[in-house]
Structures are given as structure tokens and as C-alpha cells.
Amino acid sequence: MISIVGLCMQEAGGESIDLCVQDETYTYLNRKDVQEAMHAKLVGVTSWGFCSDVVNYDHRNLEIPTIGVVGSLVGSGIRVLVYSGDQDSVLPFVGTRILVNRLATGMGLNTTVPYKAWFDFDKQVGGWTQVYGQNNKLSFATIRGASHMAPFSSPKRSLALFAAFVAGRPLTA
């Protein structure tokens, strides 16, 4: 007998990746208890889905750069982390790093942590990071071995990065 769960798992870079995550996400987000916990109300649809005709996206908006929004957040005092998988073939991390550096320079934010390795839960190199401004106003990080959807392709390192950022801990510690 072949296990469906077994068919959904694939090894990549020492981590198991669930190839059926889209199906599992759909099921999870359609649970009433999950919707209640998230204070989500289904309006105009009977179930949550990945795509919807209720929201009409203007695809021309895909061309609008969002770096100005990041600058507005930083300028208002909100700490911001911009991260990228180092295996991302859609948005290579070098371009993202250049954009973040230009933003920091334009805002007069000095580098407070130079470009260096950060470490995951297992004390392995999780990627690289650079931090700008007092109180870590703006941080850039890569996630080693991660693709365009970093939390999917490198969940453990993504969690380590997110946990450190939310807790206000420096990534290099």
C-alpha cells in the first residue's frame, strides 16, 4: 500500500518539504475554528480559496515598486525586515540587497551590523544579514538554501529568522 503522505514529502537540503501543502492549506484555512481564531469572515464566498473573483486584481499593479512602502514604514518607526532566499530565481537576493541598501542610504540610515552570517537554531549558517539604523530599523537577510517561497523551501531557517526578528534579537547572535 502506498501512503499519500509519503508521496507528498520530498527531501531537499536535509529538510522534508511537503509537496501537498496547497491542499493542506486549503483544508486548514476552511476549518471554522481556524477562521474564528483569525477573525476571518467569508464575505461573498462559501469557502476560502487561493484565487477569487470577489477581489479583482489589476495586474498593472504588479509593476509598481513597493520599496517606497518599506521606506514609509521605516520612516514611521516600524522595524522592517526584508528577506530573500539565496536560491530565488524569481527575485535574486542581490537585487533586493541593492534596493534595501539604496533605501537605507536615501533615508540616511547608517549600517549598524555589517553584512555577515546569521545562525539558525542549530547554530548553522542560516544566511547573511545587514542591519541599518538605530534600534535595527531596517534589516536585510538571506535564507540559505531557500527559493522564492522561503518558508516553504526552508521552513526551519525561515522560522529562526522570523522568531529572532519578532523577538527583537540580533540575527548574528
Task: Return the closest-CA partner of residue 139 out of 173, 94, 170, 93.
Answer: 170
pLDDT tens profile 49-79: 877 666 676 777 777 788 889 999 999 999 9
CATH 3.40.50.11320 domain span(s) along the chain: 65-167
Mean residue pLDDT of the chain comes to: 84
What's the predicted TM-score (pTM) here? 0.71
* pLDDT above 70 as % of the chain: 83
In the chain the first and final C-alpha atoms are separated, in Å, by: 47
Q: Examine the pLDDT at 9 and tell me if it is beyond 70.
A: no
The CATH number, out of the four listed (2.130.10.10, 3.10.129.10, 3.40.50.11320, 2.40.50.140), of the domain defined by the range 65-167: 3.40.50.11320
Higher model confidence: residue 95 or residue 53? 95
| pLDDT digits 0-9 by tens, 140-153 | 999 999 998 888 88
Tell me if 115 sits within 8 A of 130, measured CB to CB.
Answer: yes
Average pLDDT rounded to a whole number, residues 100-105: 96
What Cα–Cα distance (Å) separates residue 60 from each residue in 56, 64, 70, 140, 152? Answer: 12, 8, 20, 27, 27
Report whether 16 contacts 10 (CB < 8 A): yes
